[in-house]
Structure 1
Amino acid sequence: MYDTQITLTGWIGGEVTLRQVGEERHVASFRVACTPTRFRDGEWVKGTTSWHTVKVWNRLARHVADSLHSGDPVVVHGRLVADVWERDGKPQTSFEVVATSVGHDLSHGTSVFTRPVRAEDRPVEVQPAPAAVAAEPQAA
């Protein structure tokens, strides 16, 4: 495919929202703030912050919603998608990243990975059979 791939590093600028959009489909979205920093004249200088909307689908969406929170440093990789529409007869365009990979940016801290248990790997809970009812002693 000839999609535009993009990788962002930045900070989550609000809580992740998770929505169910079908019987088994989920979409999560969040905003990432990216602020370039350059070393100039012996000091670090921050540039202009750019904000990017990120969407993730299905299993990745559920994992992102369970793992990431406002203020977390992240690395996001995915497709850059343009949304084009008209307002007052003038074309408008916005861009969003449809992520294929998302994770904590470990240059800012540590993280612990937990593999979710799949339904088919979960042990089956067997309910104990009810205790047998003792028979009444027979009169001799």
Structure 2
Amino acid sequence: MNEIWTTVVGNAATRPDFWETAAGVAVARFRLAATVRRWDRKTEGWVDAYTSFYTVWTWRTLAANVAASVSLGEPLLVHGTLRVREREKDRVPEKARPGAAEGESGPKRWITAEIDAVAVGHDLTRGTSAFRRVSQAKPLVSAPTGTTSP
């Protein structure tokens, strides 16, 4: 199956949640809100149209850097693969009452749009950012056995 690569510009709608899997892999997840803006001829100005929300998944080093760098409301660019999923969750049945609307109990279904990110950055058209390179731990190199060091 072909993957859909996308770049989305928006704002961090939640703070990143960060954890490590049982295998020790770092994971961070946050929501991104992208609002469409349109030119309104009547007011001769830009107006907000609708907002789309995406769940952004990051892994390993990117996850750690996102957790350390991204705050709620910051303007971001996210690049990665897009997945659209249908989710289902059982609702807790409400008390039966006369005139209750259909669908108040039983399974609840919804659609989610998720991005497996390969790159996340601040949108520099809306502010400045200071980059700090993260140093990677390097394995110690020991002298080969049978040799002496001076």
Same fold (TM over 0.5): yes
Gapped regions of structure 2 (runs ≥ 5): 90-105, 141-150
- The whole-number CA distance in structure 2 between the counterparts of 1:40 and 1:2 is 37
Contact 2:57 2:117 in 1 (8 A): yes
Residue type at the aligned position of 2:130: V
Give the partner amino acid of 2:46. W
Superposition pairs of residues 1-140 of structure 1, within 5 angstroms: 2-41=2-41, 42-86=44-88, 92-120=110-138
Q: Deviations over 1:76-107 (max 9, x none)?
A: 01111233455657875422111111000001
**What is the deviation of 1:45?**
1.1
User: Is the contact made by 2:9 and 2:34 (CA closer than 8 Å) also made in structure 1?
Assistant: yes
Residues 84, 120 of structure 1: alpha-carbon distance in 2 compared, 3 angstrom cutoff: same
Distance 2:76 2:108 in 1: 35
Q: Match of 2:64, SS?
A: helix
TM-score, scaled relative to structure 2? 0.72
Q: Tell me which stretches of 4 or more aligned residues in structure 1 moved more than 3 Å.
A: 84-93
Query: Which of these two proteins has the greater Rg computed from alpha carbons?
Result: 1
Q: Percent identity?
A: 35
RMSD (Å), alpha carbons: 2.2
